[in-house]
């Protein structure tokens, strides 16, 4: 399926690995010019090679922390005419909410709420002038269903979702969409790390914990980054111009609801 975005300029934040990298590869397959971002030069080069192999129109590498003004400047200097923005960032580590101090809370909100908003503010004028824009925020299924220990991450991402509900409608007439994807358990380094932590806490092997977690999903498996990337690419497509202001779960049926 031709997604109609060949030659479009895409920024994918935190895309040296995991779900961000999967999004960059899927956009590359659709012929986009991608700007990838991370803080590990080796991983970024690996991701760039995968994007080029998938058919990217071109790849820019930006080694920077997207949460900082300097990092955002580097991204937008590398891609001054951004048509597609995928907001993604690491979340605060698993921690009981009673252990969080003010500095940790502020940092978490900056990572997962303030940073995406700042980037959206900066790319919107150009998108409006060109009458095309696709903005996608990778949040979490925990926005809808809490995960103990991820309260700060969940709260910041929920705040982002609520904040963008109005702007999504305000810019829809300019052929700009703003949506969120809420991933459940995907086979990424982050999931592997949390599985190791949970295995230690429960005194079982990592393999046993991974199997137990997979079996807790109605689909009886973890999601693959590739299927996440393909959903993201479609939401960034020309054909998805009538989908905006939505929070789309991709969790193997884990969130138990009828609507």
CATH number of 9-184+224-250: 3.40.50.720
Q: 70-81 burial by CB neighbour count: b if 16+ within 10 A, else e?
A: ebbebbbebbee
Average pLDDT of the residues in 179-200: 93
**Which residue bears the tokens 């999967």?**
22
Average pLDDT of the residues in 84-105: 92
Asked if pLDDT for residue 170 goes beyond 90, the answer is yes
Q: Which of 70-79, 88-97, 194-203 has the highest mean pLDDT?
A: 70-79
Q: What pLDDT, on a 0 to 100 scale, did the predictor assign at position 223?
A: 97
Asked if pLDDT for residue 206 goes beyond 90, the answer is yes
Dihedral (Cα; 22, 25, 26, 27), 10-degree rounding: 120
For 189, list phi and psi in degrees, rounded to 5: -60, -35
Beta bridge partner(s), residue 9:
33
Average pLDDT of the residues in 231-245: 98
Q: What pLDDT, on a 0 to 100 scale, did the predictor assign at position 148?
A: 85
Greatest alpha-carbon span in the chain: 57
Q: Where in the chain is the domain with CATH 3.40.50.720?
A: 9-184+224-250
Asked if pLDDT for residue 64 goes beyond 90, the answer is yes
Nearest partner of 80 among 127, 134, 114, judged by Cα: 127
Helix (H) or strand (E) holding 230: helix 225-235
């Amino acid at each position: 399926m031709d997604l109609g975005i060949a030659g479009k300029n895409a920024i994918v934040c935190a895309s040296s690995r995991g779900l961000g990298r999967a999004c960059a590869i899927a956009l590359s397959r659709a012929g986009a010019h991608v700007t990838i971002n991370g803080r590990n030069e080796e991983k970024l080069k690996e991701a760039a090679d995968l994007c080029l192999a998938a058919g990217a129109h071109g790849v820019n590498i930006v080694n920077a922390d997207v949460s900082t003004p300097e990092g955002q400047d580097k991204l937008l200097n590398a891609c001054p005419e951004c048509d597609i923005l995928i907001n993604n960032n690491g979340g605060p580590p698993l921690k009981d909410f009673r252990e969080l101090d003010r500095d940790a809370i502020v940092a978490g909100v900056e990572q997962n709420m303030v940073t995406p908003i700042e980037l959206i503010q900066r790319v919107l004028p150009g998108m409006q002038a060109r009458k095309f824009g696709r903005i996608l925020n990778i949040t979490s299924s925990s926005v809808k269903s809490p995960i103990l220990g991820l309260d700060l991450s969940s709260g910041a991402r929920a705040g982002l979702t609520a904040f963008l509900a109005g702007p999504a409608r305000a810019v829809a007439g300019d052929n700009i969409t703003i949506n969120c994807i809420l991933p459940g358990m995907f086979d990424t380094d982050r999931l592997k790390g949390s599985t190791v932590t949970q295995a230690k806490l429960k005194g079982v092997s990592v393999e046993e914990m991974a199997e137990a977690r997979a079996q807790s999903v109605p689909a009886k498996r973890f999601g693959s980054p590739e299927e996440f990337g393909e959903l993201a690419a479609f939401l960034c497509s020309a054909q998805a111009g009538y989908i905006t202001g939505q929070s789309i779960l991709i969790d193997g049926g884990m969130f138990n609801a009828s609507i």
